[in-house]
Structure 1
């Protein structure tokens, strides 16, 4: 079954190019296109469950509310929908803010259509796709900036606040890294069924109902860090 995607892009020529390119891929179904964040959010409110996209390709620089704020608002109402930023910007602050808002991928618009489609598929499989140039930029930034290191005190406070066990923290870290249930099970030498049980308990403790919401809360509360998410995505890309 084709993956339902939405496109939010204000540039008419780019919007048409993406629409035309996506027609060649049977694995995806472009179900919604919007030129602004406001238009997109309005359409999402009116869409039926069958019309909702599974993945949103979100531009950052939009007229009105930008793509980062649009992503944050979408995640508040529909946390299960995945967002991948599709942009020309490589600034570290935009990447971090996009991830904090709930995006799980960050691809440049000049990537080939096949790479973008592959990134959509990877995202739904639990990955965190990122363009190679962005991955390199973020690795360099993280390596040179000590202020981006983990705050262990805040992490310990958050773990105590939510009553998370050591195993649950390990599983949350792997969710942030983009691992699927089988990969988590293999990495921790437990069964997939045990992983599902742990994740159910994690959702209950964190008061969330989806992977995306759990990842966002874990990053916001310093249970794990955005640095880990970026490094995991970057390591995957740079090893290929």
Structure 2
């Protein structure tokens, strides 16, 4: 049975080239091609559970919603999917944020098509996420330079802000976590009920979720609360 793959990249030529290369390998089917993180999450909402991709190849630098935010949302909403970064960027900050967001692997675009296909197949069979040799060396350096670093849940002040929430939106999340409704949030923050509702809607849009339960699950999993 072929491995189903979603490709997320803002350049149509990159999506097509990668699609052609994977299809030539014979062990893959392409179930989705998305132009950015927002497009990816919208398309995922329209898929039945049985049609969800096994693997999501995610670029990082994209408009509307970048790869880190898309991985953070997608890995919480669709835990059965494996998210693998495929990018030109190898700096430590992006590696750290992608892993914290929930990436299962990190590959560079200069990897050969055959090698990308092989490591994705190995990941599918073994469950071990693929990492380009250069990235593995960067991770080793990062840990050596910061021996106390943890890729699990960290103290709130060290957790990356995947979704670029404003300070007011973070306050809204805290109040949502306490179970407050629009009226109570408005009273706490000295704003109208309608303004409180607009803030909550903005938070949901940034997190790309549809409910309080989804929002809180996501931010708790990512250590943001």
TM-score range, shorter chain: 0.5 to 0.7
Q: 1:110 to 1:138 in 2, by over 3 A?
A: same
Q: Which residue of 2 aligns with 1:95?
A: 95
Q: How far does residue 96 in structure 1 lie from its aligned partner after superposition?
A: 1.3
Report the counterpart of residue 59 of structure 1 in structure 2: 59
- Taking the aligned partners of 2:27 and 2:151, their CA distance within structure 1 comes to 39
Question: What whole-Å deviation, never above 9, does each CA across 1:20-53 have from its counterpart, x for those lacking one?
Answer: 2122011111111011111111110001223210
TM-score (norm 2): 0.64
Distance 2:151 2:69 in 1: 25
Which whole-Å CA distance do the structure 2 matches of 1:7 and 1:150 have between them? 25
Q: Distance in 2 between matches of 1:95 and 1:150?
A: 11
- The separation in 2 between residues aligned to 1:19 and 1:139, in whole angstroms, is 31
Say which structure, 1 or 2, has more relative contact order (CA 8 Å, 6+ apart).
Answer: 1
Deviation at 1:76, TM superposition (A): 2.2
Structure 1 residue 37 corresponds to structure 2 residue 3:
no
Q: Residue 12 in 1 paired to residue 12 in 2?
A: yes
Unaligned 5+ segments in structure 1 are: 155-212, 222-240
Question: SS of the residue aligned with 1:29?
Answer: strand
- Tell me which moved more, 78-87 or 137-146: 137-146
Indicate the residue corresponding to 1:171 in structure 2. none
Please tell me whether residue 118 in structure 1 is matched to residue 105 in structure 2: no
Q: Which runs of 5+ in 2 are unaligned?
A: 156-216
Q: Deviations over 1:48-84 (max 9, x none)?
A: 2232101100011111111010011112211111100
**For residues 55 and 36 of structure 2, what CA distance do their matches in structure 1 show?**
17
1:145 aligns with 2:142: no
Structure 2: distance between partners of 1:121 and 1:9:
21
CA contact (8 A) 1:8 1:37 kept: yes
SS of alignment partner, residue 107 of structure 1? strand
- Inter-partner Cα distance in structure 2 for 1:32 and 1:127: 23
Structure 1 residues 149, 99: closer, same or farther in 2, change over 3 A?
closer
Where does residue 130 of structure 2 map in the other structure? Answer: 129
Over alpha carbons, which structure has the higher Rg?
2
If the length of structure 1 is used for normalisation, what is the TM-score?
0.60
Give the 3 Å change call, closer, same or farther, for CA 115–220 of structure 1 in structure 2: farther
Cα distance in structure 2, aligned partners of 1:220 and 1:98? 14
